[in-house]
Structure 1
Amino acid sequence: MSTNIPSDLKYVASHEWLRLEADGTVTVGITDHAQSLLGDVVFIELPKVGAKLAEEAQAGVVESVKAASDVYCPIAGEVVAINEALEGAPELANTDPYGEAWFFRIQPANPGDLAKCLDAAGYAAEIGA
């Protein structure tokens, strides 16, 4: 099975990806590897806008036909947006994990925290891809 790991994103071992946006916010979603392990996603619970999340705090839940899995906040920050499209179409996590299926955006408490995250090669090594 080939795994899609875009080189322009950052990653964490708990299978979330991060993308720094032009406005300084960080978009977070689950990786292609995570969605393939889960199987068909049937429900996604997202954090509330305005929630202040610590690094590695639970930020939501993804439920699939196989299992439920927690989604973690890879860096500390405040949730500034959620992807409401996922509430009506959770299957987007399977079809477009790095595009339409982003989960939430945070304003990082410390933008330097991104430097601690894995690059594509580091994540590939982490998952044995």
Structure 2
Amino acid sequence: MPVIETAQWRVKKANHDKFLNLVVHGPYNDDSMGLTYQSKHPEIYRYAKTRTWSRPLDDSDEEDWFFIDEYNSMDDYHESHKNYASQAEEVHMEKMTKLQSELMVPDSLQGPYVWEEQPGTNIQFADRL
């Protein structure tokens, strides 16, 4: 059964580009972490798809961000997290966590949450993918 993992947080609009760069290129801006690294290592990251969105908040200097990682099964989800934990260098994780916390609005993180798709509720229009 398909599974997704989600989380949501806020970032100051002024930090949008810095946060996006962190998500894509990692804490050292060298693709040793982040989505660029993940895309090159499907043997570690077992999700079928990952996406990150943001939206500005009206009358605020903040914006909402969230991600969705889609997995084909709960087993893939668990395997991905086990692989990631064993592959991530501690110094990189500390730097990534530090930069994220500096750029995220304090106490805004919600999640991560893991959701299971319910049978019979999926509709896909192949010509729209």
TM-score range, shorter chain: under 0.3
Q: Which has the higher contact order (CA 8 A, sep 6+)?
A: 2
TM-score (norm 2): 0.27
- The structure carrying a bigger helix percent of its residues is 2
Greater Rg by CA:
2
TM-score (norm 1): 0.27
